[in-house]
């Protein structure tokens, strides 16, 4: 079976997921060696990217930048596969989410306000992108077409909603000043921190959604090629 242009987003997505996982894993390993410990219960994902000039931060930030760009063609493929107005709006929001993620890589936590702007851009855009992709997919193909895509989409939405709600409440943010933390005391680190846990839930569900979407689109490509081969034989 030859490689066609339709396969490119698939292999880019697989490669992007691998880069993302390896970048996070290496950064956590270096963080532990430098700072003594890293816990998914009370450390933010973004802490792996600061201070920006350390080896840990370079690995993490560049893995986020590169993997985000590599995963965007997957959204383009899904939008083209669904082919509805909702899917195209979702694709635009997906581009905004990618831009926010790339921005986080270039503006880590040691540049707090730019980091908050790019991070909030990512979280809000990603939440609405996955919402519209899920609704568009369900409306056109039904739940049975791919239950895992719908379930992964719902899980990603819930994790984003909970994370954003807890962040705005904990840091006393508001719709008028979304990039200003009015409660610095909220940064005192407890042993179990709901904000950090929910941020990791967003990352985990994002990874899962991209992975199952990649598998689904790969299956569609194989099914199309099989149908074409059968038609030629007849």
- What is the model's pLDDT at position 169? 79
- The per-residue pLDDT for 78 is 95
Q: What are phi and psi of 40, to 5 degrees?
A: -70, -10
Where the chain has pLDDT below 50, the residues are 1, 227-234
pLDDT, tens digit, for every residue of 43-56? 999 889 988 788 88
Predicted pLDDT of residue 95: 97
Cα–Cα distance for residue pair 97/119, rounded to 1 Å: 9
Predicted pLDDT at 109: 87
Q: Residue 192: what pLDDT?
A: 87
pLDDT at residue 174, rounded to an integer: 55
Cis-peptide into 51, omega within 30 deg: yes
How confident is the model at residue 175, as a pLDDT? 55
d(CA 76, CA 197): 30
Supply angle C-alpha 146, 15, 216, rounded to 5.
10
Exposure string of 62-71, with b = 16+ CB inside 10 Å and e = fewer, is ebbbbbbbbb
Q: What separation in angstroms does the CA of 180 have from each of 60, 113, 128, 129, 167?
A: 25, 7, 22, 25, 12
Specify whether the CB–CB gap between 118 and 100 falls below 8 A.
yes
**At 20, is the secondary structure helix, strand, or coil?**
helix
The C-alpha atoms of residue 19 and residue 26 are separated, in whole angstroms, by 10
Whole-number pLDDT of residue 232: 46
Position 1 scores a pLDDT of: 46
185: exposed, middle or buried (Cβ count in 10 Å: 0-12, 13-18, 19+): exposed
């Amino acid at each position: 079976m030859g490689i066609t242009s339709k396969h490119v987003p698939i292999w880019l997505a697989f490669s992007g997921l691998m880069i993302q996982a390896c970048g996070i894993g290496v950064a956590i390993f270096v963080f532990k060696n430098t700072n003594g410990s890293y816990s998914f219960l009370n450390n933010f994902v973004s802490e792996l990217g600061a201070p920006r000039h350390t080896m840990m931060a370079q690995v993490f930030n560049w893995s986020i930048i590169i993997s985000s760009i590599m995963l965007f063609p997957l959204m383009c493929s899904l939008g083209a596969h669904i082919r509805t107005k909702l899917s195209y709006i979702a694709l635009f929001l997906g581009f905004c989410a990618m831009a926010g993620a790339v921005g986080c890589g270039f503006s880590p936590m040691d540049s707090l306000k730019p980091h908050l702007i790019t991070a909030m851009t990512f979280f809000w855009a990603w939440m609405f992108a996955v919402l519209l992709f899920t609704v568009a997919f369900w409306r056109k193909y039904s739940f049975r077409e791919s239950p895992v895509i719908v379930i992964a989409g719902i899980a990603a939405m819930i994790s984003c909603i909970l994370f954003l709600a807890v962040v705005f409440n904990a840091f006393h943010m508001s719709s008028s000043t979304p990039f200003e933390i009015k409660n610095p005391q909220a940064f005192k680190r407890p042993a179990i921190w709901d904000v950090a846990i929910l941020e990791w839930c967003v990352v985990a569900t994002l990874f899962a959604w991209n992975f199952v979407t990649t598998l689904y689109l790969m299956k569609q490509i194989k099914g199309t090629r099989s149908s074409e081969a059968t038609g030629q034989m007849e």
